[in-house]
Amino acid sequence: MYLGIDCGTQGTKALLMDENGNPLGRGYAAHALIERPNGAREQDPQWWVDAMCDSVKQALAGVPTADVLALGVSGQQHGLVVLDADLQVIRPAKLWNDTETTPQNAELIERLGGKEACFQRFGIVPLTGYTVSKLLWLKEHEPENFARVRHILLPHEYLNFWLTGRLCAEYGDASGTAFFDVRTRQWAREVLDEIDGGSGQLYRALPELLTSEQSVGTLREEVAAQLGLPQTCLVSTGGGDNMMGAIGTGNVREGVVTLSLGTSSTVYSYTEQPVLDPTGNVAPFCSSSGGWLPLVCTMNATNVVTQTLTVLGKTVADIEPALASTQPGSEGLCFLPFLNGERTPDLPQAQGSLVGLTANNFTPANIIRAAIEGVSFGVLNGLELILHGKQAEVILVIGGGARSAEWRQLLADVTGATIRVPAEAEAGCLGAAMQAVHAYSHSIGLPQSFTEITGRCVRLEESGTATPRRELREAYRQAMANYRLRLTELYAVSL
């Protein structure tokens, strides 16, 4: 048996499966979140550990745990965990959606020579939310804590450290730090030298990089006892939640597109070669399966829809009738859903806007549709950037938004692609568990490829398929054009 753990923003999930991907147990535990009006978003790493323990114990209930051979950890990307010389956490982790560090990101880009220079030197343009600006923020705002930094970890790396006692990283999650060269797959010391003045403090704090074929190690004795797992249980390298979601949807070969509709929204497609975008809109991340994973992230997705429903006194049950009873374009109503600023386009200080209200279109159903259209149009703009104008034939949709049949139909109608839903809803957990299979197979000298593993473990839910209605394509084209027009009018940017 194999265990996949997914530490997200809202909580941690665990999935126990057999070698063929059949679920055997599940668990979930929620996280608290520190939110401040200035854009700060933080969590105490101990909360992740506690939630992981709770969710794993739930997933293992009633199961012969001696048969668990390996586990993998998926984690929210970009979060900064700093440890001191005694391997103790110095302060709460700043998260992927923390926009308090916006000034530091702009300052760092300027100090490195501008966006074009960053792209030429490191293959990536730092964006607010990436890990690097958090380090500069720490130096400028908490110099005493900065001076104590001896180890730098991402969320999933911290959990691996807690499990095994080993400090290490892997290429996929590392590529979202912006102090990593995505072309050469090596740490970019120049970026960190710009922050610490070339002292080497930060570079020395970086963990060892491992490939997906390698493993972090086995469980510490006290951890094995606490979780009820054998100490021989192998811990794979794991990775960022998007990288594990890619594995969990079979996105380990070219031609597969995954769209995730969670708290944030991402769209990505595996490639054998790096896809480099000088604008920074497409993140040229590495995959956690040996290739690259060009990705576009928008910071506003199901959270916007949920908040809209709450304000209107509605629930998720109202999504289906609202979409079914309204027309593409919401009768001219346009929702720019930037409640948390935005990453793509790079507008960290943007605010949400509801534009085009009239006496006729100002209805709860239209507002709900406009929120969903705004979220969808934003991430689908990113898909066009990744595919360079090519038509996606099939898109695999995961995350909370994938549960809505009407939302899936909207995506099919907008893109002209067939929308499919994996049978396993927790793609991050599944991907982490499958990576554990991959690592374990290499550890015993019987290596299995990711293509082979995903081929037998990733299944599709036939009842979740949505095919495009060609007669609505033009109406959605006009609605998306209106979205882009409003974006340009308000923020002078376009995609």
Indicate the annotated binding residues for substrate: 77-78
- Strands 257-261 and 265-269 turn out to be antiparallel
CA dist., res. 379 & res. 444, Å (int): 41
- 107 in helix, strand or coil? helix
Does a cis peptide bond (omega within 30 degrees of 0) precede residue 345? yes
Which of 6, 98, 196, 241 is catalytic? The answer is 241
CA dist., res. 123 & res. 179, Å (int): 10
Active site residue 241: yes
Known binding residues: 77-78
CB 377, CB 337: distance < 8 Å? no
CA dist., res. 380 & res. 280, Å (int): 16
DSSP 80-93: BEEE-TTS-B-SPE
The Cα-based distances of 341 to 64, 99, 264, 415 in angstroms read 47, 8, 12, 25
Closest among 102, 84, 206, 88 to 145, alpha carbons compared: 84
Q: Is 491 exposed, middle or buried (0-12, 13-18, 19+ CB in 10 A)?
A: middle
CA dist., res. 105 & res. 214, Å (int): 33
Largest Cα span, the chain: 69
Query: Which tokens is 421 given?
Result: 């839903």
CA dist., res. 407 & res. 245, Å (int): 20
Looking at residue 341, what DSSP letter applies?
B
H or E element: which one contains 98?
A: none
Residues with active-site annotation: 241
